[in-house]
Structure 1
Amino acid sequence: MAQDCEQIEDESDEVRFSLTAEAGLNDGLAFPFVYAAIYLATLGGVQQWGLKWVAWEVVGRTVIGVVVGMAVGWLLAKIAFRAPTSVRASELGDPLFVVVVPFVAYAAGELAHGWGFLSVFVCAMTLRHADRGHDYHDSMHGVIERLERLFTLVVLLLLGAALTNGLLGSLTWGAVGFGLLLVFVIRPVVAWIALGRSRSPDHVLDGQLGPRERIVAAFFGVRGVGSIYYIAYATSKHSFPQERLLWSALAFTIVLSVVVHGLTATPAMRWLERVRPS
């Protein structure tokens, strides 16, 4: 989702950071709700599984994911910045070290029965806070950003191929309406409220969003590529009665988000640039 703001080169830009952090948190915290859908379909009413779901899926596995992510991030930070010079990643200057970070964190989180995606996010934040001023962070960020763009391109190409094979064949007007509501109403309004009010001016790096930054951060960020994995995971656990409709609705929403946000990203950034201090 940070691609929507790639026009902004300043890595400390509040909008860019907000969208990137939100993307990581979305991936990390979505799985409890995927399991809620699975339980609802397989176990019946909430009264049958609600307490267990809150205690384990929401609280237990989230805590484990956070703890594992912090531990792995701390360990990898030691290897990157505190290990003997001969094996210290930051001294060797190979930014590909960062490629192993998500795999190690995810595997450790899942092996500990926590949320792997959440472990990856927390691990990345922990690693980022180690020697924040070190140039090695810029090198790692460059590699991750290029890989993110590459993987997103591959996924979108596969999605495009699926569209030509009838992925939208089960789309209904109700699903179209839901996709439109999600992109143009639900996401912007909920995010705008969640970001809270701020008296901070735009482009003042004080950890808060200004009025225009808040609007831009609220509008962008749907895309929903990660939802492909969530639906694939859920449907592998249970056969849902309207599975094809789910896929059609998801595909429509992703395409709508890519088109709308792709066309509006540059004008939105220019709108923000008008109040950027010279």
Structure 2
Amino acid sequence: MDTYILLLVALGVLILLTAWLPMVLKEAPLSLPIACVLLGAAIFGLLPIPGPPPDPIGNRAATERLTELVVLISLMGAGLKIDRPFGWRGWGITWRLLGPGMLLTIAMLAVLAHLILGLGAASAVLLAACLAPTDPVLASDVQVGPPRSGEEDEVRFALTSEAGLNDGLAFPFVLLAVMLAGGERGGDGWWGWFTYAVLWKVAAGIAAGYVLGRVLAWTTFRMPNRAKLSRTGAGFVALGITLLVYGATEKLGGYGFLAVFVAALTLRSAERGHAYHEKLHDFAEELERLLMMALLVLLGGAAAAGGLLHAADGWVVAFALAAVFVVRPLAGWVGLWGAGRPPEERATIAFFGIRGLGTFYYLAFALGHAEFEEAGTLWSAATTVVLVSVFLHGTTVTPAMAFLDRRRGGQQLDLPLPDRA
């Protein structure tokens, strides 16, 4: 009973901190993720907490499901808050980051994982695929503002749209690593992997997200007046949409992450100026923040008192520094070559490829479907990269974005859209 009461107190404190800390840290060169990681390290590393510390490695299945959920909620929120209509030309900077930028990132990380960490092909590709995507959860500080707010300059739009769509490119390489390791989810040879993991699953994810998004948009905004969901004013509808789209798409064999983001974009495109989008987004953002804080506190505890960093030697640290300071900035800069953006914007987009909780989802997923050599090194390398990203990007994002806003004279890309009830 005492442990149960302590858990209730801890949960209450966490919820209050979820609401309070963002206001305290808003103007400080310190991000909410940093505070959560430090809090977890202090609680589990310094205080006499009963029971074992958090163990993501020993609780791989729980790690997979919890990180999966927070990424899903983040993807829904990200899709709802993008004001820019979807299009080939308007999203040109996104395609550059997803195409040459991300593919180069995966290739460079895989080579470095082999050369620096001595990993085999399967483990090197897996680590590269886990670390390549910009995380939609921890990248919220560099994303666009709420729906219809007008806070959508090119840098924020690029990082938001990239974080929403890059799972559709990272997941095929996770499945490639599973195939190389002899797992059952990798496909049947190279041609089987390409047709299944690349062509079918991407196409199914996009199609399912679009169709379900259209159906849900109709039920939300176009049904007879008394029946449409927008009349409820309930923000938790966003959670229902997220889970429905993800589950249905996974059942069809598509990429559920990709489908959720596409469904959110499709839903937003219907009645783009409707005020209900803000309620959906606000609920998703609050739920995402609560889940993110809980998981980052556990991450800090696992890093300080658990076994996540037991294999983090000098070579792992060198790999992590190269991944954050060299690979992503270089790949991003190359991908944005010829995009017609000022150098400071290209540098900012290339630098803020934040790594976060999605990395642990991919890693836990793959380790549940195949046996990989040096699994301990994979966990330690992924954790080190994420921690470096959390502290580096968390301390630099506020001054960097403030500098860009001053250079633009405070102007944003879009103006707020009119209210529609």
The answer as to whether partners of 2:328 and 2:350 remain within 8 angstroms in 1 is yes
C-alpha distance in 2, partners of 1:67/1:6? 25
The answer as to whether partners of 2:317 and 2:384 remain within 8 angstroms in 1 is yes
The answer as to whether partners of 1:109 and 1:119 remain within 8 angstroms in 2 is yes
CA 1:143–1:196: 2 relative to 1, 3 Å: farther
Matched with 2:324 is 183
Structure-2-length-normalised TM-score: 0.60
C-alpha distance in 1, partners of 2:402/2:255? 38
Aligned: 1:64 with 2:196: no
Matched with 2:158 is 18
Mapping of residues 167-178 of structure 1, within 5 Å = 167-178=308-319
Higher relative contact order (CA 8 A, sep 6+): 2
Residue 174 of structure 1 and its aligned partner are, at CA, apart by: 2.1
Residue 83 of structure 1 and its aligned partner are, at CA, apart by: 1.5
Mapping of residues 124-143 of structure 1, within 5 Å = 124-143=264-283
Structure 1 residues 58-97: Cα deviation after superposition (integer angstroms, max 9, x where no partner):
0111111111010111011011111222221222221221
Matched with 1:260 is 392
The answer as to whether partners of 1:28 and 1:119 remain within 8 angstroms in 2 is no
C-alpha distance in 1, partners of 2:224/2:266? 20
C-alpha distance in 2, partners of 1:262/1:128? 29
CA 1:93–1:255: 2 relative to 1, 3 Å: same
The answer as to whether partners of 1:179 and 1:253 remain within 8 angstroms in 2 is yes
C-alpha distance in 1, partners of 2:388/2:139? 17
Aligned partner letter, 1:251: T
Structure 1 residues 153-203: Cα deviation after superposition (integer angstroms, max 9, x where no partner):
12211111211213101113222111111111111111122233344xxxx
C-alpha distance in 2, partners of 1:198/1:238? 40
Matched with 2:99 is none
Residue 267 of structure 1 and its aligned partner are, at CA, apart by: 1.1
CA 1:96–1:271: 2 relative to 1, 3 Å: same
The answer as to whether partners of 1:2 and 1:16 remain within 8 angstroms in 2 is no
Aligned partner letter, 2:141: D
Structure 1 residues 129-152: Cα deviation after superposition (integer angstroms, max 9, x where no partner):
111111111222222222222222
C-alpha distance in 2, partners of 1:55/1:145? 35
The answer as to whether partners of 2:250 and 2:256 remain within 8 angstroms in 1 is yes
Aligned match for 2:334, one of 193, 196, 199: 193
Matched with 1:203 is none
C-alpha distance in 1, partners of 2:298/2:407? 39
Aligned partner letter, 2:289: R
Matched with 1:3 is 140
C-alpha distance in 2, partners of 1:139/1:192? 36
C-alpha distance in 2, partners of 1:4/1:180? 22
The answer as to whether partners of 1:79 and 1:89 remain within 8 angstroms in 2 is yes
Residue 6 of structure 1 and its aligned partner are, at CA, apart by: 6.2
C-alpha distance in 1, partners of 2:272/2:408? 25
Aligned match for 1:241, one of 373, 384, 392: 373
CA 1:154–1:26: 2 relative to 1, 3 Å: farther
Give the secondary-structure state (helix, strand or coil) at the position aligned to 2:243: helix
Aligned: 1:250 with 2:379: no
The answer as to whether partners of 1:61 and 1:114 remain within 8 angstroms in 2 is yes
CA RMSD of aligned residues (A): 2.0
Mapping of residues 67-78 of structure 1, within 5 Å = 67-78=207-218
Matched with 1:88 is 228
Matched with 2:402 is 270
Residues paired across the two proteins, number: 266
Q: Unpaired runs of 5+ in structure 1?
A: 200-208
CA 1:13–1:142: 2 relative to 1, 3 Å: farther
Residue 211 of structure 1 and its aligned partner are, at CA, apart by: 3.3
Aligned: 1:109 with 2:249: yes
Percent sequence identity is 42
Aligned partner letter, 2:214: W
Give the secondary-structure state (helix, strand or coil) at the position aligned to 1:274: helix
Give the secondary-structure state (helix, strand or coil) at the position aligned to 2:182: helix
Aligned match for 1:229, one of 349, 357, 361: 361
Residue 7 of structure 1 and its aligned partner are, at CA, apart by: 9.4
Structure-1-length-normalised TM-score: 0.89
Residue 210 of structure 1 and its aligned partner are, at CA, apart by: 4.0
